Amino acid sequence: MSSVETAPTAKSTDYGPSGTYLNYINGEWKPAKGGKTFESRNPADPADLVGTFPASDKADVDEAVAAAVAAYKTWRLVPAPKRAEILYRAGQLFIERKEDYARELTREMGKVIAEARGDIQEVIDMVFYAAGEGRRMFGQTTPSELQNKFCMSVRVPLGAVGCITPWNFPMAIPSWKIAPALVTGNTVVLKPASDTPLVATRFVETLIDAGVPKGVINLVHGSGRAVGDPMLEHPDLKLISFTGSCEVGRHVNERCAPTFKRVTLEMGGKNSTTVLEDANLDLAVDGILWGAFGTTGQRCTATSRVIVQKSVHAQLRDKLVERAKKLKLGYGLNEGVDVGPVINEPALNKIAEYVEIGKNEGAQLLLGGNKATNAGPGYFFEPTIFDNVKPTMRIAQEEIFGPVVALIPVDSFEEAIEVANGIEFGLSNAIYTKDVNKAFSAMRDLESGLTYVNAPTIGAEVHLPFGGMKNTGNGHREAAETCLDVFTEWKACFVDYSNSLQRAQIDTD
């Protein structure tokens, strides 16, 4: 550790006027070189200015990448258990700061306070989980085909890596990427979503306070085009780890191709909950409400389709509408609020457009469907339920990312699986049934990275692989031991202690 320079402990606000936040590059808080800024505002009350942040560009990215490349030279040589000690300290700080960070998260992103606490808890879980890998990170030893020869495989870090993250889990998702990146010996440039720069700043501050050395973590605020694109094209970033929409993910993939970067993509979903006729309907309604309207439907794993067997369709529908009617919209820091605002005005308008699309397609609007004007001055949308939705309708195929759920009646279990799989995405599916045969058949046949039985489509845990099939991802898994595969290369090592030339595949007798 002595060869690594520790960054000063500092809040980013110490370096600018109150409410003005900065980039963090090479151990220093600094404004964008171009001097431009952008604002972050509270989606529940846009008059509430959360902070002003640097609108950075390529020059800032270049500086951050140079710092990460330089820091990599020493960071990769710090023993992994020592790197992990810093993460353990960070985990402890996140515990101490959980409530403050959760309240800021609700203010900046909108999710209700209980869910914001969950976001921070996921950070704590992930940081501790990744820290544990500092003393595992197992490779293999295996016999050689030759005498007096030793063979093993070890993980090695990639170098300087880029992480590009969305706003819906503004602290949890950076932690899924950055904790494993650091423990495996990489250095990081983080570009967080423009809608949640304060939460990302708090995340980085905590790593600094825990002792992450200068240059090892760098934070560059700014737009996808101005900051993201230069990262994608930068020859010295060895990986882009991206979570966001399919549209931007495709662009990321294409832009990274010329430099042969490793690219991991975690993208959209159109998740389903199937309710069979033998299900506990009240339990299913609990799960659908939480899955569809939690985080105001803005989770990649949100329940946006309910596939229900016709024999229990009317019963389920009535129970669901009755419960959804009682959900309280409002500012997520206020007592008793169930559903917060959506992230911004374009998102609000997009959801309203999808409601019109659904009505024009012939789906039956059972509940909601409007911007909610009585919940506060922000971007509120009523919990919305469509019935008699056909599997091919756009509202049953496309990611809406809002509090909208489509009921799709089907005749049989087999048809339910076919409908669940009949989309371009493959992130999360749930099924409610007491029939063990159908539960196991569903786990086998549903085309998604996550499958839940008698539980909602949301509820990932950090020690299990997280990610999607089909157009949701490109084959990688975050969290769990699989997170190590994202941030390391395998190296095979051979030690010949025979004191003679031994030729593999030739001198084997």
- Residue 267 sits in the site that holds ligand NAP (CB under 6 A): yes
Which residue, 401 or 432, is less far from ligand NAP as judged by CB? Answer: 401
Rounded distance between C-alpha atoms, residue 337 and residue 101, angstroms: 19
Residue 156 φ/ψ, nearest 5 degrees: -125, 150
The mark string for 459-498 relative to ligand NAP (x by CB under 6 A, - otherwise) is ---------x---x--------------------------
**Contact region for ligand NAP (CB under 6 A) — 22-30, 139-147, 186-194, 283-291?**
186-194
Q: Which of 122, 266, 338, 387 binds ligand NAP (CB under 6 A)?
A: 266
Residue 142 φ/ψ, nearest 5 degrees: -150, 150
- Residue 409 sits in the site that holds ligand NAP (CB under 6 A): no
Which residue, 57 or 195, is less far from ligand NAP as judged by CB? Answer: 195
231 within 8 A of 64, measured Cβ to Cβ: no
318 within 8 A of 326, measured Cβ to Cβ: no
- Residue 223 sits in the site that holds ligand NAP (CB under 6 A): yes
Query: Is residue 26 helix, strand or coil?
Result: coil
Contact residues for 6 (Cβ-Cβ < 8 A; gap 6+): 211, 213, 214
- Residue 295 sits in the site that holds ligand NAP (CB under 6 A): no
- Residue 250 sits in the site that holds ligand NAP (CB under 6 A): no
48 within 8 A of 198, measured Cβ to Cβ: no
Rounded distance between C-alpha atoms, residue 320 and residue 292, angstroms: 11
Which residue, 248 or 407, is less far from ligand NAP as judged by CB? Answer: 248
Q: How many helices (H) and strands (E) does the chain have?
A: 14, 21
Q: Residue 201, Cβ neighbours under 10 Å: how many?
A: 25
Q: Which of 165, 241, 344, 488 binds ligand NAP (CB under 6 A)?
A: 165
- Residue 167 sits in the site that holds ligand NAP (CB under 6 A): yes
402 within 8 A of 351, measured Cβ to Cβ: yes
Q: Per this entry, what is the length of the chain?
A: 509
**Contact region for ligand NAP (CB under 6 A) — 9-17, 192-200, 280-288, 489-497?**
192-200
Q: Which helix or strand (DSSP H or E) is residue 97 part of?
A: helix 80-109
Residue at 315: amino acid letter: Q
- Residue 397 sits in the site that holds ligand NAP (CB under 6 A): no
Catalytic residue among 266, 382, 399, 478: 266
Q: Which of 215, 228, 294, 369 binds ligand NAP (CB under 6 A)?
A: 228
Please, what's the largest Cα pairwise distance for the chain? 83
- Residue 193 sits in the site that holds ligand NAP (CB under 6 A): yes
**Contact region for ligand NAP (CB under 6 A) — 17-25, 193-201, 450-458, 492-500?**
193-201
Which of positions 330-389 make contact with ligand NAP (CB under 6 A)?
none
Cα–Cα–Cα angle for 217, 218, 224, rounded to 5 degrees: 130
β-strand 404-410 against 488-496: which pairing, if any?
Answer: unpaired
- Least CB distance from residue 68 to ligand NAP, whole Å? 17
266 an active-site residue?
A: yes
- Residue 429 sits in the site that holds ligand NAP (CB under 6 A): no
**Contact region for ligand NAP (CB under 6 A) — 7-15, 165-173, 208-216, 409-417?**
165-173
Contact residues for 478 (Cβ-Cβ < 8 A; gap 6+): 176, 177, 243, 264, 266, 465, 466, 467, 486
Catalytic residue among 163, 256, 300, 483: 300
Residue at 185: amino acid letter: G
- Least CB distance from residue 242 to ligand NAP, whole Å? 7
- Least CB distance from residue 169 to ligand NAP, whole Å? 6
Q: Which residues sit at the interface with ligand NAP, rule CB under 6 A?
A: 164-169, 191, 193-195, 223-225, 228-229, 232, 243-245, 248, 251-252, 266-269, 300, 399, 401, 427, 468, 472
Which residues carry out catalysis? Answer: 266, 300
